[in-house]
Amino acid sequence: MARVPGSVVAAGGLVGGYTVARFTRKRQLGGVALAAAGTVAARQWKRAAGTGTAAALTGLYTAAFAGSHPLAKKVGAWPAVFAVAGAVAVTSWVAADRKA
């Protein structure tokens, strides 16, 4: 079975977490989706590029989630979520996934 790259898992977690929170109107459920995807992505990053890179990318994932909130006030919710998801995906691919 093929492994889904950490960059895809992370971007999916950011978009999926927001989608779940928005459409269920339960922020906690969105947080569960976000955390689950972040955990899976972190494990893949660690396997592909080591502990230090995994820690840095996990920090970026968390910062992207937090940063999407003020960005959403300027550009809208969906554009903000897609922007931070794209940034995390590209950074993850460069730092870990292309090495795997």
pTM over 0.85: yes
Query: Tens of pLDDT along 32-83?
Result: 999 999 999 999 999 999 999 999 999 999 999 999 999 999 999 999 999 9
Q: How far apart are CA 32 and CA 40, in angstroms?
A: 12
The Cα diameter of the chain in Å comes to 41
The domain spans of the chain are 7-99
